[in-house]
């Protein structure tokens, strides 16, 4: 049930909610917006109507507009966003202390706002916060690699994991960088755009983490090992078999400080198209 509620005293009849509804669920009724006939099941719960109402007259899905954050004057400036994007670095040196649970919860809650195809919202965040569990997962992964090496079952092109294992035995953690936390994002494989949804969610998590002074690493080595080479690990971690695992990310408090952005303008590649009408 959409539970559309209109405060008729606040509603200016501007029809912005009706015009902005992606699937034309709303219509103008007797002076105020209403759900169109036989349209309720088409709603994808995007909440555009709640967000676009200039006076906060509209509530939907049991949500009240006053519980939302106001946007006017609260967006970061273009210069601030540029610094955040350019200043984000892949962290491979982490402090040996966990991030507090409240901060992790806040990061996950904010990352949930990342867009998904057709607003399907099928993203699952599998996070390891407990330090003992983190060590157990690392050990299980490395022992799985040890078995693959011993049985000569490393995939072609992944023979270098033998070197990673030898480094592990000597105390070097190439795979997990001694990070205190690990995040795996998976998406229901039946979602319209599972891979895109997962990458967008992880990017949102990463950028927000940077604003909180935390470091992240898109860990392709761990992804290959935990997902591609040792698929049973996902089941042990409670990830549904119906899900497509998108990627693995390490995060925690960085043990390194960067003082300036890098310079990549020379790497810009643009294909500007002018359509040939002939």
Q: Give the pLDDT score at 209.
A: 98
Model confidence at 1, pLDDT cuts 50, 70, 90, reads confident
**Would you say 48 and 22 are in contact if contact means Cβ atoms under 8 Å apart?**
yes
Please state which architecture CATH assigns to domain 86-252: 3-Layer(aba) Sandwich (3.40)
Portion of the chain with pLDDT greater than 70, in percent: 100
Tell me what the mean pLDDT of segment 216-245 comes to.
Answer: 97
- Each residue of 80-119: pLDDT tens digit? 999 999 999 999 999 999 999 999 999 999 999 999 999 9
Please state which architecture CATH assigns to domain 5-67: 2-Layer Sandwich (3.30)
For the CA atoms of 97, 102, 104, 108, the dihedral, rounded to the nearest 10 degrees, stands at 180
Tell me what the mean pLDDT of segment 141-153 comes to.
Answer: 98
Examine the pLDDT at 62 and tell me if it is beyond 80: yes
**Would you say 175 and 141 are in contact if contact means Cβ atoms under 8 Å apart?**
yes
**Would you say 58 and 17 are in contact if contact means Cβ atoms under 8 Å apart?**
yes
- Residue with tokens 């006939």, as numbered in its chain: 37
Examine the pLDDT at 277 and tell me if it is beyond 90: no
Q: Give the pLDDT score at 245.
A: 97
Mean pLDDT of the chain: 97
Query: Where do the domains of the chain lie?
Result: 5-67, 86-252
Q: Give the pLDDT score at 113.
A: 98
Examine the pLDDT at 276 and tell me if it is beyond 90: no
Model confidence at 196, pLDDT cuts 50, 70, 90, reads very high
Query: In terms of Cα–Cα distance, which of 209, 203, 227, 216 is closest to 256?
Result: 216
């Amino acid at each position: 049930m959409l539970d559309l509620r209109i405060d008729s005293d606040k509603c200016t009849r501007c029809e912005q909610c009706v015009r902005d509804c992606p699937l034309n669920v709303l219509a103008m009724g007797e002076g105020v917006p209403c759900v169109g006939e036989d349209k309720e099941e088409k709603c994808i719960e995007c909440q555009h109507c709640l967000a676009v109402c200039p006076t906060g007259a509209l509530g939907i899905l049991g949500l009240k507009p006053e519980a939302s954050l106001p946007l006017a004057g609260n967006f970061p400036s273009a210069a601030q966003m540029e610094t955040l994007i350019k200043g984000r670095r892949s962290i491979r040196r982490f402090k040996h202390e966990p991030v507090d649970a409240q901060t992790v919860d806040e990061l996950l809650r904010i990352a949930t706002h990342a867009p998904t195809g057709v607003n399907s919202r099928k993203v699952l965040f599998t996070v390891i916060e407990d330090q003992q569990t983190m060590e157990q997962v690392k050990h299980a992964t490395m022992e799985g690699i040890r078995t693959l090496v011993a049985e000569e079952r490393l995939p072609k092109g992944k023979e270098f994991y033998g070197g990673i294992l030898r480094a592990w035995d000597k105390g070097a953690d190439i795979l997990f960088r001694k990070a205190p936390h690990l995040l795996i994002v998976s998406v229901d494989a039946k979602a319209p755009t599972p891979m895109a949804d997962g990458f967008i969610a992880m990017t949102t998590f990463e950028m927000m983490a940077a604003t909180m002074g935390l470091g992240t690493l898109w860990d392709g080595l761990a992804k290959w090992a935990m997902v591609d080479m040792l698929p049973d690990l996902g089941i042990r971690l409670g990830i549904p078999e119906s899900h497509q695992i998108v990627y693995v990310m390490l995060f925690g408090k960085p043990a390194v400080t960067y003082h300036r952005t890098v310079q990549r303008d020379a790497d810009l590649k643009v294909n500007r198209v002018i359509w040939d009408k002939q």
